[in-house]
Structure 1
């Protein structure tokens, strides 16, 4: 529902009636007419005729039904790649006489013709928004139409250039920001839902709460990504006190910690284009300049894949989940987090298993957890594991309530990022590393016999935690990310 709404909103922002006319109901256009309309996009030579044809296409696309839009994508994939004969001639010329001239000709010949179509559409008022909405629909079709992946690759490369950091505008969003933007913040919040306008006001209209977002000049009031920040006097362990409507605000000048507790990407059509790392680092730098007492920049992050991993791990014959934890999982009932005995047993089991999951569970050599991949790849340090950090139904279902803190030490972010990307090393606090080492991967015990433990999976032998100011990087098997 959200995706469809976003697409319709983006397309409806194309409001230049001189070019687009009034919005109409979806219509069925013959495939021949659609094919001719697509081909016409490459025929206009003058700037005016090119804009008119692009506007005509976007108007027609906006009015198509789902089948018509699928036909457009499939036509772009099948008929608008590189021209084979031209590409072969350019390749032969380069191989025969390598030079800058023949290399440039080969590069031009290798570019799919649809890329020029996208460039021309982007020149029209509202064209960038329309292309973002089109890619949103394209992504939705990829599972059933894998042949469309080439079109998606081309759009993604163009968006990476059009939405690079140099074009992004950082804005602080306050209660004085336009209602149009605030309504979008409520709609796009993807981590901790904003229930109503009063809830939003508690997050942005008090002195110890901030919200920042990236915007792009061609998307107007459409945010690309935003981050919610709480100013506190300590590193938090739970989201409840941060979101509470009963809490007492503090003086920002007394805050020592900036907590990034919710980061939401807003445009599904820009999936795969990274904004978050720039946003967090920029906001941390700006807050450090504004509030010199801030010493810690941390997240309070969910662990969205933990429950699923734990279920899979429990079923494996060689597993990090011991029999006591299996018994506990079978015994947990609704409301277990409020049952003192069950909560105590769950904390003892889930805290080290969360550390193990974040450091050892891999997907193609990278941390399996998507939030961990994001923050560790940005150069943050895995700082703290928090039991019962999010006891909402969603938090319990996805992670048994577990949350973690990732810490951004501004002077070490780049070093940690390079170590993660180039060597697969994860920056991790010693206490978390110790928790992970306490988990033993073992064969499940056969009937009547004990489990056999293999050697420990990590080689770090420190027994005493170093001070948290010292970032320690632990070697992992992750290849270059």
Structure 2
């Protein structure tokens, strides 16, 4: 990554909002389909360019450019129509596969009856090998060559990421096997094309081009950058920002991570973002990762963050030997949604028991949970002026959905114990398919981290209160245990947690 050595205006950053730039058109591309044409006509034109590109043994750059330009011009329904066509019309040619399989079985059966003769007959063996090669070729979907040719185009890799983002959105609406197959194949190819060996690690600084800094502002997904002063602070003394870049997408990171150099693990994001002045870097003992953002939704499920995190840790260990603690201050995006759903289900279950009498009491008792401890329920009732004979879980639901509790010291104090306890349970116990239910927790745990500490009122922003009741979590990367923890989590789902969490939840066994 080449740095600009001349002073430059950053006025463009003043216009930056949380919206990435549109994909630029490739240089010297043929004229795309008429964007003023009716949607049906535009979609038909794009479909023709798709057919021309997929059907050719070696698609021409002009046809690929026309398809990509035309695809960009389509609205959401039009893009989805093209993706359905790509997945369905250019799938594996199963009729050919069946014919080849019948031939192969026939020849193989003859060889089984006369194995000695087959060894002597080089022609029969050669026929089998040819059929096997033919089968392998036939099992490739017809769109395979098209995707590979598009990847080789200037701007093609980013365009394929856009296609996959649209495909993931379509899968959210209709989870068809043929669409899943296309997504699986495209994801496999993207994993190959985006291998760590093909990516360059670059420290992003204030001296980088304004166009790059604008993208950092636009793509920051965890803690929005408020202004130029905030941006300069995050790139200045005591802070680091590193990005992974691919040569096919110059000037734009695929993913970037922000780091604070501190004396110890921070307990709130306010400490990190509003720490003025920062400590001297020579005094830093902790590298705190407080934000990691992907710039391409179409790369979802491709764990570039794992490799980025490990490379940044290695770089910091080499350049700053005094730093011995590598930890995160992470959001808990799914906690409040999980808790409110849990409360709603328990309230509904209690209402059914009340309506149906004792007939359901035994059957439903297995599903009843003590969400609140007796002392926690009492504290909530004392904090609310009008109880109205509501149960503790109803009170908790009312308080949390109003979000006004943050302004009341009395309510905040009453909520601290149950929310911290339930958050620890959510992080350390709630799982989906044997892995942590929270997406951020799953990311760090599969990378070999452990849950070190949960922090009350660590993110007092509107987003932080809405997502997690203001609670944030420190994940700790113990360098000597990273591989061990990653293996045990991937193998058995075991979540390593600090003894400090035992006051909130029983240790995992």
The alpha-carbon deviation at position 373 of structure 1 amounts to 0.7
Kindly report which structure 2 residues correspond to 1:31-430, keeping only aligned pairs within 5 A, or say none: 33-45=45-57, 50-96=60-106, 97=108, 102-147=131-176, 148-205=179-236, 207-244=237-274, 247-314=276-343, 315-316=345-346, 317-322=367-372, 324=377, 326=393, 327-328=395-396, 330-331=398-399, 335-337=404-406, 339-430=408-499
The CA deviation string for residues 222-265 of structure 1, in whole angstroms up to 9 with x for no partner, is 21111110011011111111111x62211111100010011111
The CA deviation string for residues 353-409 of structure 1, in whole angstroms up to 9 with x for no partner, is 111111111122221111111111111011001111111111111111111100011
The alpha-carbon deviation at position 35 of structure 1 amounts to 3.8
Count matched residues.
431
- For 2:189 and 2:241, the matched residues in 1 are separated by 29
- For 1:177 and 1:26, the matched residues in 2 are separated by 39
The alpha-carbon deviation at position 87 of structure 1 amounts to 1.1
Task: Report the counterpart of residue 467 of structure 1 in structure 2.
Answer: none
Which range is displaced more, 103-112 or 291-300? 103-112
The alpha-carbon deviation at position 410 of structure 1 amounts to 1.8
The structure-2 alpha-carbon separation of the partners of 1:4 and 1:243, relative to structure 1 and needing over 3 Å to count, comes to closer
Give the structure with the larger helix fraction. 2
Q: Which of 19, 22, 25 does residue 9 from structure 1 map onto?
A: 22
Kindly report which structure 2 residues correspond to 1:470-481, keeping only aligned pairs within 5 A, or say none: 474-475=508-509
Q: Which secondary structure does the structure 2 equivalent of 1:143 belong to?
A: helix
- For 2:34 and 2:204, the matched residues in 1 are separated by 34
The answer to whether the 8 A contact 2:239-2:258 is kept is yes
- For 2:189 and 2:130, the matched residues in 1 are separated by 24
The structure-2 alpha-carbon separation of the partners of 1:340 and 1:32, relative to structure 1 and needing over 3 Å to count, comes to closer
The answer to whether the 8 A contact 1:313-1:320 is kept is no
The answer to whether the 8 A contact 2:33-2:45 is kept is no
The alpha-carbon deviation at position 421 of structure 1 amounts to 0.6
- For 1:64 and 1:311, the matched residues in 2 are separated by 39
The alpha-carbon deviation at position 150 of structure 1 amounts to 2.9
The CA deviation string for residues 438-476 of structure 1, in whole angstroms up to 9 with x for no partner, is xxxxxxxxxxxxxxxxxxxxxx5xxxxxxxxxxxxx44x
- For 1:320 and 1:223, the matched residues in 2 are separated by 47
The structure-2 alpha-carbon separation of the partners of 1:135 and 1:348, relative to structure 1 and needing over 3 Å to count, comes to same
- For 1:271 and 1:142, the matched residues in 2 are separated by 13
**Pairwise CA RMSD:** 2.6
Q: Which secondary structure does the structure 2 equivalent of 1:302 belong to?
A: coil
Kindly report which structure 2 residues correspond to 1:428-439, keeping only aligned pairs within 5 A, or say none: 428-437=497-506
The alpha-carbon deviation at position 297 of structure 1 amounts to 0.4
- For 2:42 and 2:256, the matched residues in 1 are separated by 42
Unaligned ranges ≥5, structure 2: 1-15, 110-127, 347-366, 378-391
What TM-score do you get using the length of structure 2 for normalisation?
0.79
The alpha-carbon deviation at position 77 of structure 1 amounts to 1.7
Which range is displaced more, 166-175 or 318-327? 318-327
Task: Report the counterpart of residue 469 of structure 1 in structure 2.
Answer: none
The structure-2 alpha-carbon separation of the partners of 1:312 and 1:100, relative to structure 1 and needing over 3 Å to count, comes to farther
- For 1:217 and 1:84, the matched residues in 2 are separated by 37
The alpha-carbon deviation at position 73 of structure 1 amounts to 1.1
- For 1:84 and 1:387, the matched residues in 2 are separated by 58
The structure-2 alpha-carbon separation of the partners of 1:408 and 1:125, relative to structure 1 and needing over 3 Å to count, comes to same
The structure-2 alpha-carbon separation of the partners of 1:24 and 1:175, relative to structure 1 and needing over 3 Å to count, comes to farther
Q: Which secondary structure does the structure 1 equivalent of 2:440 belong to?
A: helix
The alpha-carbon deviation at position 351 of structure 1 amounts to 1.6
